[in-house]
């Protein structure tokens, strides 16, 4: 399956780069900071984009991690749309502060609900993080997280640790990996112990 | 009565009155000038307007000139909220910070099995739990998973979600930088609640001063140097603002009027001593009026103090009449004439004030009693004490005579007046159905437009509109809650049908004990739940032991004490409950369900559906206006009764049908012309115009009494004419000034009486006649 192959490629790539970085003590702090800024400049340069996504929840609640599939659309600076196809159709459109959720029930009836992002802090944190990353807005992300670049470009990996009150919004740590300006994988480690993996690839 | 005894009586009376007045508290409750309630719903409405939680609400807007500076506004609003929470003038402050709702959220979550409409025995069977788990898995793969996941082990059946969907029907307010914001992004919104009721204007004023100080400090702390401004709205804010405005206007205008009238009197009478003495009848009358109010009502209303003096300002005329028309002490016949005329003038004015007493407005009743007592005492003092103090009479005569030597002149005036009266009647008739305005804004002390900021902030903060309310009342709290529960499906049905957008029922967060017990009874015993859960989990992707906390939570809920209002005390839900579940003075409980977005076209069907359930839909705007119309109709009858009383008085005193009809024609013409002019220039009439028209009738009757029975002796006649003209001029000055006020109430009274004074003089002049020497 393409996704699995993709994941494998991402993991292998990450490992390879990790090995290289670990053996290069010369990759000093200053270079990392410069690299991080370069990376976010690459993110910003991507502009509007649509990606296929697979989301897996690794949780003690489940025997096997359930998967959600669909497309993720981002238009800078603040429009993020998550369009799930399976296990059921659901569209979440977040434009700046407003959240619109359209769900298709088992009976095929579509229910639409609106909310303000700030009233759902658990969601707000994830959305702000993903939006800031895809927009290449390093300043915003730095206000929320301590960012550590674990592996340099081109096959990069970064880790984000919440600055104040870690875990307040349900997330303990975030790690991201990719190649060049492409983000391939984001993983959220939640306070519940769950890990949510978000894998991104070219939309078909 | 010897002279000394008479003065001792006056002195003693002044001391007693002074003592009574000095110890009476001054009331500032504006609700006194709202109509008194007639039906139980109206009583509830009036109570809520006066003392409800909503009446304590202050809407605070923290604005910046440009949306780009929104962050400054947000920071100031957040700091201000914290400061207000620490301020003893306020019991509650909130600005949309999600953390503020966390406590309420926890309370709801803890009580979910007593609150959720989903809790039924069927839900906890293997089939019911199977369906719930399927729903849960869908939710955990949805975008909202981060929201659902933390609750999932404790609440796999989704009671919390069912509960939130039920109590949060409306979209939440717009939030920006963690604070509520208006749609234009320039104004951050804070809601605060004062400790003291909205009608306590003194306390409201103190709270607003504290708020302004807190704002200044917050601005210096959170955004020093930024251009951040403060706007306030809400019932208490309006009350303070309107009182300040009325006081400002009244002070400015009364100083101006005093200067102008004193100048005129000095110019014409050239007697500084008279100027001082002219105040004696008014002063003693006012003191007596206040003393009677203090004794009868237990308090003196600040509005009575302000307006009362205007109303009995007519008593200055008495001093003028006495000073100018007084005959030589030995001219018994001449003096008797004057005293009889004065007595009639006093009594006819008093009859006019009777209508005010009967108006049904508590405030107007007090004003009427004050004026009635004040005018009678003023008249008595002018009659029995003033002559001894006045300087010797210095006759001032009019340079011309009236009725004029050439009858054609008076004839001409009569024809002119008939034409004007006809025009007035036509004017009124043409406008007939719309002559009266009963809209609230027409009598609001601030005038139209004052509600705009309130509406804007309310709309943007998505606060329930205050316009629609469903009210029900039952002997006990439990019965009231049960009634609200019975009403719920009806309202839900109306909501689906589009008659309303949302409603907030207190029974959703505090179900009746019967309902809570029924839900508790639906919860299975631990072992039974465990069995059912195992069966339900087996075929799913969920781990067998994923939901152990759920089993524990259900067992705890089975034994939990039932919810009481105290459960929510101190938070936002507690505030909401206090506003919606109201203990009435009679010991009964009222439930107030706020309704949002009522479709006016479907309001009648909603009203009928609600009524069938023993509750009432209250439309604050229409119901208050209907109430005003009721009172206006009552006031019209009272006015007519007052008019009839004036006629009876005149008839009893004068015993001459011709004379009485002459005077009545003059008084009626003055009132009709004034009303016609008001309709022509002001568009329509309000209750305040009506009250002022009574004053016109009273003043007009004074002129008619003197002019319709002029002395045969030319000197006496021209003296009388001079005194009436002078009295008319002083009255006109006072009320014409009042008509320049920007406060609608003052403007209405000033315009009405200003026009009425001139119309009254003209009408009396047209009807003027010389007494036949034999009379």
Q: Which of A57, A103, A118 sits opposite B145 (nearest CB)?
A: A57
d(CA B357, CA A116): 54
Q: How far is A66 from chain B (nearest CA, A)?
A: 7
Flag the least confident range among B70-84, B325-339, B364-378, B416-430: B325-339
Nearest to B146 among A61, A97, A170 (CB): A170
Hey, of A91, A114, A119, which one would you mutate to test binding to chain B, going by the most B CBs within 10 A of its CB? A119
* Per-residue pLDDT tens over the stretch A117-157: 877 777 888 898 999 999 999 999 998 899 999 988 889 99
Mean pLDDT of B642-648: 85
Total count of residues recorded for chain B: 775
Helices H / strands E in chain A, number of each = 4, 11
B138 vs A: CB within 8 A: yes
Q: Do A64 and B541 touch (CB under 8 A)?
A: yes
- Which residues, at least 6 apart from B431, have a Cβ–Cβ distance to it below 8 Å? B679, B684
Indicate the average pLDDT of chain B.
85
Instruction: State yes or no: pLDDT of B340 exceeds 80.
Output: yes
When CB atoms are compared, the residue of B101, B144, B150 closest to A101 is: B144
Q: Tell me the average pLDDT across B359-378.
A: 84
Q: B639 falls in which pLDDT band (50, 70, 90)?
A: confident
- In this prediction the pTM is 0.72
B141 and A59 within 8 Å at the Cβ level: the answer is no
Beta bridge partners of B229: B63
Cβ–Cβ under 8 Å, residues B59 and B65: no
Q: Could B143 and A122 be called an inter-chain contact, meaning their C-beta atoms sit closer than 8 Å?
A: no
> CB distance from B496 to chain A under 8 Å?
no
A170 in contact with B, Cβ within 8 Å: yes
Residue B360's pLDDT is: 67
Question: 160-179 in B: which are within 8 Å (CB) of A?
Answer: 171-176, 178
- Measure A129 CA to nearest chain B CA, in Å: 14
What pLDDT is recorded for position A21? 45
Q: Beta-carbon neighbour count of residue B253 at 10 Å? A: 21
The CA distance from B562 to B344, in Å, is 71
pLDDT category of residue B501 using cuts at 50, 70 and 90: confident
Selected for mutation to probe chain B from A84, A118, A125 (highest B CB count within 10 Å) is A118
What pLDDT score was predicted for residue A15? 45
Q: What is the DSSP letter of B392?
A: P
Say yes or no to pLDDT of A114 above 70: yes
Q: How far is CA B112 from CA B159, B367, B518, B520, in A?
A: 6, 55, 14, 11
Kindly tell me if the per-residue pLDDT of B29 is higher than 70: no
Contact B153 A101 (CB under 8 A): no
Cα atoms in the Cβ-side hemisphere of radius 13 Å centred on A90: 20
Q: What is the model's pLDDT at position B57? A: 83
Q: Which residues of B touch A59 (CB under 8 A)?
A: 140, 149
Give every CB contact of residue B75 below 8 A, 6+ residues apart in sequence.
B177, B222, B223
**pLDDT confidence band for B445 (50 / 70 / 90):** low
On the question of pLDDT at B158 being above 90, the answer is yes
Residue B716 sits at φ, ψ, to 5 deg, of: -60, -45
Give A128: exposed, middle or buried? Use CB within 10 Å, 0-12, 13-18, 19+: buried
pLDDT at residue A2, rounded to an integer: 47
pLDDT exceeds cutoff 90 at B43: no
Output A160 or B741, whichever has higher pLDDT. Answer: A160
The maximal CA–CA distance of chain B, rounded, in angstroms, is 120
By Cβ distance, the residue of A63, A121, A126 closest to B98 is: A121
Q: Are strands A79-86 and A90-95 parallel, antiparallel or unpaired?
A: antiparallel
User: Bridge partners of B542?
Assistant: A62
Q: List all residues 6 or more positions away from B486 whose beta carbon is below 8 Å from its beta carbon.
A: B613
User: In the predicted model, what is the mean pLDDT of residues B71-95?
Assistant: 91
Instruction: Place A16 in a pLDDT band, splitting at 50, 70 and 90.
Output: very low
Å from A40 to nearest chain B CA? 24
DSSP state of B439: -
pLDDT in tens, B327-337: 777 788 888 88
The neighbour count for residue B131, using CB atoms within 10 Å, is 15
The least confident of A53-67, B227-241, B414-428 is B227-241
Q: Which tens digits make up the pLDDT trace of B95-128? A: 888 777 888 889 999 999 999 999 999 999 999 9
What pLDDT does B419 receive? 94
- Top-confidence residue, B775 or B524: B524
Percent of chain B with pLDDT over 70: 91
Structure tokens at B553: 């939570």
Q: What pLDDT is recorded for position B333?
A: 83
pLDDT score recorded for residue B455 = 67
From the centroid of its chain, how far is CA A143?
Answer: 17
**Mean pLDDT value of segment B474-495:** 95
Q: Give the model's pLDDT for residue B404.
A: 85
- Alpha carbons B363 and B710: distance in angstroms, whole number: 39
Beta bridge partners of B418: none
Residue B265: its pLDDT value, please? 87
Which residues of chain B neighbour A123 with C-beta distances below 8 Å? 143-144, 146-147
Q: What are the residues whose beta carbons fall under 8 Å from the beta carbon of B30, sequence distance 6 or more?
A: B199, B201, B239, B242, B243, B303, B445
Tell me which of A16 and B21 has the higher pLDDT: B21
The stretch B204-226 carries a mean pLDDT of 92
CA distances from A89 to A73, A104, A196, B6, B148 (A): 15, 6, 19, 98, 18
For B740-749, how does the pLDDT look when each residue is reduced to its tens digit (9 = 90+)?
888 777 788 8
The question of ipTM being above 0.90 is answered as no
B448 pLDDT band, cuts 50/70/90, is very low
What mean pLDDT, rounded, does chain A reach? 83
B555 touches chain A (CB under 8 A): no
Predicted local confidence at residue A82, as pLDDT: 94
A77: pLDDT strictly greater than 50: yes
Per CB-CB distance under 8 Å, the chain B contacts of A82 are 143
User: What separation, in Å, do the N-terminal and C-terminal C-alpha atoms of chain A show?
Assistant: 14
Paired strand residues for A50: A73
Q: List the 68-107 stretch of A: residues with Cβ below 8 A of B.
A: 68, 82, 84, 87-88, 90, 92, 97, 101, 103
pLDDT higher than threshold 60 for residue B687? yes
B50 half-sphere exposure, CB direction, 13 A CA radius:
16
> Any chain B CB within 8 A of the CB of A115?
yes
Q: What is the largest CA-CA distance in chain A?
A: 60
Across the interface, whether the CB atoms of A61 and B173 are under 8 A apart is answered no
Mean pLDDT of B463-482: 84
- Residues linked to residue B597 through DSSP beta bridges, in sequence order: none
User: B189-193, B299-303, B429-433 — which is least confidently predicted?
Assistant: B299-303
Distance CA B671, CA B704 (A): 13
CB atoms within 10 A of CB A106: 9
CA distances from B553 to A54, B154, B558, B614 (A): 34, 7, 9, 37
Contact A62 B542 (CB under 8 A): yes
Q: Does residue B732 surpass a pLDDT of 60?
A: yes
Band of the pLDDT at B250, cuts 50, 70, 90?
confident
Q: Are B591 and B459 in contact (CB under 8 A)?
A: no
Among the partner residues B146, B173, B543, nearest to A122 by beta-carbon distance: B146
Tokens 């929510």 -> residue: B568
What mean pLDDT is predicted for residues B499-504? 89
Q: What is the pLDDT of residue B244?
A: 81
Tell me which chain B residue has its CA closest to the CA of residue A66: B141
Confidence tier at B34 by pLDDT (50, 70, 90): low
In this predicted structure, what is the pLDDT of residue A17?
44
């Amino acid at each position: 399956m393409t996704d699995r192959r993709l994941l494998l490629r991402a993991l292998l790539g990450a490992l390879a780069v990790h090995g290289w970085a670990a053996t290069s003590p010369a990759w000093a702090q200053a270079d990392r900071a410069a690299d991080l800024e370069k990376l976010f400049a690459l993110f910003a340069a991507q502009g509007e984009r649509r990606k296929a996504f697979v989301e897996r929840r690794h949780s003690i609640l489940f025997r096997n991690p359930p998967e959600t599939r669909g497309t993720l659309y981002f238009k800078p600076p603040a429009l993020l749309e998550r369009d799930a196809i399976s296990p059921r159709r659901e569209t979440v459109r977040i434009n700046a502060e407003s959240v619109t959720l359209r769900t298709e029930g088992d009976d095929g009836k579509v229910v639409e609900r609106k909310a303000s992002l700030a009233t759902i802090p658990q969601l707000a944190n994830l959305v702000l993080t993903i939006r800031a990353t895809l927009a290449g807005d390093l300043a915003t992300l730095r206000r929320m997280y301590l960012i550590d670049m674990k592996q340099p470009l081109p096959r990069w990996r970064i880790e984000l640790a919440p600055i104040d009150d870690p875990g307040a919004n349900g997330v303990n740590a975030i790690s991201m990996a990719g190649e060049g300006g492409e983000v391939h994988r984001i993983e959220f480690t939640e306070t519940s112990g769950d890990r949510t993996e978000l894998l991104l690839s070219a939309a078909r | 009565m010897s002279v000394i005894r008479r003065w001792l009586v006056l002195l003693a009376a002044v001391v007693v009155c002074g003592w009574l007045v000095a110890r009476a508290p001054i009331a500032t409750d504006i609700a006194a000038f709202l109509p008194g309630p007639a039906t139980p719903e109206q009583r509830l409405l009036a109570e809520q307007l006066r003392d409800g939680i909503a009446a304590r609400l202050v809407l605070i807007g923290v604005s910046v000139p440009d949306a780009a500076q929104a962050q400054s506004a947000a920071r100031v609003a957040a700091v201000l909220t914290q400061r207000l929470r620490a301020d003893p003038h306020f019991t509650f402050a909130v600005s949309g910070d999600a953390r503020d709702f966390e406590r309420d959220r926890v309370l709801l979550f803890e009580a979910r099995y007593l609150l959720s409409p989903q809790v039924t025995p069927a839900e906890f069977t293997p089939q019911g739990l199977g369906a719930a788990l399927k729903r849960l898995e869908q939710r955990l793969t949805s975008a909202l998973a981060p929201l659902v996941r933390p609750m999932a082990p404790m609440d796999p059946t989704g009671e919390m979600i069912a509960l939130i969907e039920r109590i949060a029907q409306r979209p939440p307010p717009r939030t920006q930088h963690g604070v509520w914001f208006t749609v234009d992004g320039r104004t951050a919104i804070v809601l605060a609640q004062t400790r003291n009721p909205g009608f306590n204007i003194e306390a409201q004023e103190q709270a607003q001063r504290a708020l302004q100080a807190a704002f200044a400090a917050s601005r210096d702390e959170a955004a020093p140097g930024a251009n951040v401004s403060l706007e306030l709205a809400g019932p208490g804010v309006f009350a303070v603002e309107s009182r300040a405005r009325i006081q400002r206007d009244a002070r400015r205008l009364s100083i101006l009027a005093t200067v102008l009238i004193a100048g005129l009197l000095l110019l014409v009478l050239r007697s500084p001593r008279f100027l001082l003495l002219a105040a004696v009848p008014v002063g003693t009358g006012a003191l007596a009026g206040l003393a009677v109010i203090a004794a009868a009502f237990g308090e003196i209303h600040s509005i009575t103090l302000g307006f009362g003096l205007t109303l009995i300002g007519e008593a200055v005329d008495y001093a003028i009449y006495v000073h100018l028309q007084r005959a030589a002490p030995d001219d018994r016949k001449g003096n008797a004439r004057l005293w009889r005329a004065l007595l009639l003038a006093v009594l006819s004015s008093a009859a006019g004030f009777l209508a005010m007493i009967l108006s049904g407005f508590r405030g107007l009743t007090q004003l009427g009693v004050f004026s009635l007592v004040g005018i009678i005492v003023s008249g008595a003092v002018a009659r029995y004490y003033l002559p001894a103090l006045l300087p010797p009479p210095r006759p001032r005569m009019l340079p011309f005579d009236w009725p004029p030597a050439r009858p054609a002149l008076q004839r001409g005036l009569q024809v002119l007046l008939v034409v004007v009266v006809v025009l007035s009647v036509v004017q009124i008739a043409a406008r007939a159905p719309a002559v009266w305005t009963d809209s609230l804004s027409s009598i609001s002390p601030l005038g139209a437009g004052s509600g705009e900021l309130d509406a804007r902030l309310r709309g943007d903060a998505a606060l329930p509109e205050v316009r629609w309310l469903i009210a029900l009342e039952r002997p006990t709290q439990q019965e009231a809650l049960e009634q609200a529960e019975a009403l719920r499906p009806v309202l839900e049905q109306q909501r689906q049908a589009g008659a309303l957008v949302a409603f907030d029922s207190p029974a959703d967060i505090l179900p009746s004990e019967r309902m809570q017990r029924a839900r508790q009874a639906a919860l299975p015993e631990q072992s039974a739940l465990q069995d059912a859960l195992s069966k339900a989990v087996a075929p799913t992707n969920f781990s067998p032991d994923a939901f152990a906390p759920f089993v524990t939570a259900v067992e705890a809920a089975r034994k939990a004490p039932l919810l009481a209002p105290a459960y929510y005390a101190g938070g936002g839900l507690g505030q909401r409950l206090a506003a919606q579940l109201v203990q009435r003075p009679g010991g009964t409980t009222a439930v107030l369900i706020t309704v949002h977005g009522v479709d006016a076209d479907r309001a009648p069907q909603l009203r009928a559906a609600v009524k069938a359930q023993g509750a009432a839909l209250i439309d604050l705007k229409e119901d208050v206006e209907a109430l005003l119309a009721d009172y206006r109709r009552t006031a019209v009858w009272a006015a007519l009764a007052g008019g009839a009383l004036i006629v009876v008085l005149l008839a009893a005193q004068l015993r001459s049908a011709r004379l009485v009809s002459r005077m009545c024609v003059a008084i009626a013409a003055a009132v009709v012309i004034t009303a016609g002019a008001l309709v022509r220039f002001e568009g329509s009439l309000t209750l305040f115009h009506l009250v002022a028209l009574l004053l016109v009738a009273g003043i007009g009757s004074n002129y008619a009494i003197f002019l319709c029975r002029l002395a045969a002796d030319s000197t006496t006649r021209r003296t009388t004419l001079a005194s009436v003209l002078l009295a008319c001029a002083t009255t006109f000055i006072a009320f014409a000034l009042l008509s320049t006020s920007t406060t609608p109430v003052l403007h209405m009274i000033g315009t009405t009486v200003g026009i009425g004074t001139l119309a009254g003089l003209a009408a009396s002049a047209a009807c003027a006649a010389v007494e036949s020497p034999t009379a």
